Chains A and B, each alone.
Chain A
Amino acid sequence: AQSVAQPEDQVNVAEGNPLTVKCTYSVSGNPYLFWYVQYPNRGLQFLLKYITGDNLVKGSYGFEAEFNKSQTSFHLKKPSALVSDSALYFCAVRPSHLAGSARQLTFGSGTQLTVLP
């Protein structure tokens, strides 16, 4: 069975500093990996995905994520945090070889990012 771990419930960072939100995964075969962001009382918004190719993936709002197969990680990063980045961030995985069948996204428990002014 696939799983996602987000080891930090809460990440605090000062505005203008770089941020990292950690994610590790477990899946059979090659993974498809996703990051979503959730603002209060809102649905999930797609940020970026890793499918294949370059390990560094760039997404919306200046976010990027680095896929590391040996460490089974997909950490979300941003060079300079904004107060408006404060939100709940979810990492999700889907096994690539089962993506055409009925296997759906498995989400982590989320990391609350707070950017302090």
Chain B
Amino acid sequence: DTGVSQNPRHKITKRGQNVTFRCDPISEHNRLYWYRQTLGQGPEFLTYFQNEAQLEKSRLLSDRFSAERPKGSFSTLEIQRTEQGDSAMYLCASSLFETSNTEAFFGQGTRLTVV
């Protein structure tokens, strides 16, 4: 399968613990996005990378959140000192930035439950 891959698919953690998610984009895609989706809502933009550069962060991305894409390939999203409000589906997407109208392809997501 050459689509966007996310690991783990599910994560249950205790409040206050740190968690890290991984996203492997489609190999030739130079843009990578992180979104968060809570129940009954559409995805909300968190941050995106063009190659290894993080070009924008949403105000939703508090100081406890950090994302990296060190070699311009896979990306990690870390949440420190998790809170119950962090429980959500975290979606990764990638696209090829050739023109401004290119659609993004999404992974299956990582569902985080903070107990």
Binding site for B on A (CB under 8 A): 4, 32, 34, 36, 41-46, 49, 51, 90, 92, 96, 99-100, 102, 104-110
Contacts and interface: CB of A to CB of B under 8 A. Distances in A.
Contacts of A110: 40-42
Given A36-B106, A43-B91, A102-B48, A49 B42 contact: no
Interface string B50-62: 0000011000000
B45 interface: yes
Contact of B56 (A34, A51, A104, A105): A104
Q: Select the residue from B41, B93, B100, B108 with max chain A CB neighbours within 10 A.
A: B100
B26 interface: no
Interface in B21-60: 33, 40-45, 48, 55-56
Nearest to A97: B100
Given A105-B104, A107-B42, 7 more contacts: A42-B108, A43-B107, A43-B108, A44-B91, A49-B101, A102-B48, A110-B41
Interface of B: 4, 6, 33, 40-45, 48, 55-56, 91, 93, 100-101, 103-109, 111
A99 B101 contact: yes
Contacts of B105: 46
A34 B95 CA distance: 14
A34 B107 contact: no
A97 to B, nearest CB: 9
B45 A105 contact: yes
Nearest to A32: B101
